[in-house]
Amino acid sequence: MSLLFSKANLGTLALQNRLVMSPMTRNRATGNLPNELMAQYYGQRASAGLIITEGTSPSPNGLGYPRIPGIFSAAQVAGWKRVTDVVHASGAKMFIQFMHCGRIGHALNLPAGARLLGPSAVAAAGEIYTDAEGMKPNGTPQAMTEADIKATIEEFAQAAKNAVAAGFDGVELHGANGYLLEQFIRPSSNQRTDRYGGSIENRARFVLEVVDAVNNAIGKDKVGIRLSPFGVFNDMPVYDAMEADYTYLAQQLNARGLLYVHLVDHSPMGAPVVPASMKATFRSVFKGALILSGGYDAARAESDLEAGKCDLIAVGRPFLANPDLVARWKTSAAVNAPDMSTFYTPGPKGYIDYPAVSR
Ligand SMILES: Cc1cc2nc3c(=O)[nH]c(=O)nc-3n(C[C@H](O)[C@H](O)[C@H](O)COP(=O)(O)O)c2cc1C
């Protein structure tokens, strides 16, 4: 009897299995609008228990990459409604990932009037793709004022209401991988001297205020968060107090009664290993559901579920390349390999044309 493929509950949500499709940015949302192609892509993968969308910006200021979707306009809500309808018709539940890119971005990717924001005016090392001029160095963000912080928190809360209006079962706050929320947590990107910088209590304040605002807007039973302790993506170096800082976050998130914490482990992609002790801390301190991700195949997923290390397993690249991943893993069928050259390119190629064996 497989745990991975058996029905489960996530809070009050009934899931058809314990396999979650990880959030994956695919850059098909021309004009930052969810479209029919995206409805088809997600619909093809709706045999998952839960689908988490690609990173979606709650604000024009958060659109650091080209062709990523938003959830702040009426047209975006209408576009996402079509997506959630298609996915729900096939039985999966669906959360939307709120990704405010913060300092990861470039003015060329932002709509008119939007601003590149960060906790401090410190640019991330590295380059970012722009449709207009190709690769460019990440821009230098404007350090957010208290008024910017307040306005951004309000954007998250409004976006959460928009998400519910668009038919999502909940929202996942992207607190991982070097985007705005993590930029506040980490001392390298957060060099503030006010109550949002310095001690971990201060560096965690923005994230926890976003959590509180989103909880108030839609209810804590609809809110999860993704975190990447020990993650280094987007110029986020490891530092001494990492484990202590994330232990504090686990305690604070537990006190707020969120639905789930989703931990990223990108060591299968060459990133530093996330110590087992860190995952165990989240498992023991946080009483809500725990989702683990990173490099899973069916056997490892089953074994971590059986060991009680987590409640659900999230899978990225295998889902990207196999619309019918659940059926393939159930029957130990061969899987398609992902084609990296079409991960972020516009159009249907490498997006909705991976073959299924079961349909
Ligand atoms: C094409 C691509 C896009 C991604 N975009 C996001 C994203 O928008 N948000 C996020 O939290 N993680 C993102 N990730 C990371 C994945 O969610 C996942 O953590 C990673 O692929 C490792 O899991 P896997 O080994 O199952 O693929 C992305 C990964 C890939 C391959």
179 is catalytic: yes
User: What is the DSSP track for 231-253?
Assistant: --TTT----TTHHHHHHHHHHHH
Would you say the CB of residue 61 lies under 6 angstroms from ligand 1? no
How many other C-beta atoms can be found within 10 angstroms of the C-beta atom of residue 326?
Answer: 25
Would you say the CB of residue 294 lies under 6 angstroms from ligand 1? yes
CA–centroid distance, 316 to ligand 1, in Å, is 5
CA–centroid distance, 218 to ligand 1, in Å, is 26
Would you say the CB of residue 264 lies under 6 angstroms from ligand 1? yes
Q: How far apart are CA 284 and CA 280, in angstroms?
A: 6
pTM of the model: 0.98
List the catalytic residue out of 41, 42, 65, 179.
Answer: 179
Asked whether 174 and 263 are in contact (CB, 8 A), the reply is no
Identify the pLDDT of residue 1: 75
**CB < 8 Å & 24+ apart, contacts of 325-332:** 325/19, 325/45, 325/47, 325/48, 326/5, 326/17, 326/19, 326/47, 326/48, 327/47, 327/356, 327/357, 327/358, 328/357, 328/358, 329/4, 329/5, 329/19, 329/297, 329/298, 330/2, 330/5, 332/298
Question: For ligand 1, what atom is nearest to the CA of residue 264?
Answer: 19
User: Considering only CA atoms, which of 278, 220, 248, 301 is closest in space to residue 22?
Assistant: 301
3-state secondary structure at position 322: coil
CA–centroid distance, 145 to ligand 1, in Å, is 31
CA–centroid distance, 195 to ligand 1, in Å, is 32
Identify the pLDDT of residue 358: 53
Write out residues in the chain with pLDDT < 70, as ranges.
358-359
Identify the pLDDT of residue 204: 99
Question: For ligand 1, what atom is nearest to the CA of residue 55?
Answer: 8
Q: How far apart are CA 163 and CA 156, in angstroms?
A: 10
Burial letters 14-41, b for 16+ CB under 10 A, else e: ebbbbbbbbbbbbbbbeebbbbebbbeb
How many other C-beta atoms can be found within 10 angstroms of the C-beta atom of residue 315?
Answer: 23
What would the two tokens of residue 354 be? 């991976």
Identify the pLDDT of residue 359: 46
What would the two tokens of residue 259 be? 């639905």
Burial letters 241-270, b for 16+ CB under 10 A, else e: ebeebbbbbbebbbeeebbbbbbbbbeeee
Helix then strand then coil, % of the chain, to nearest 5: 35, 15, 45
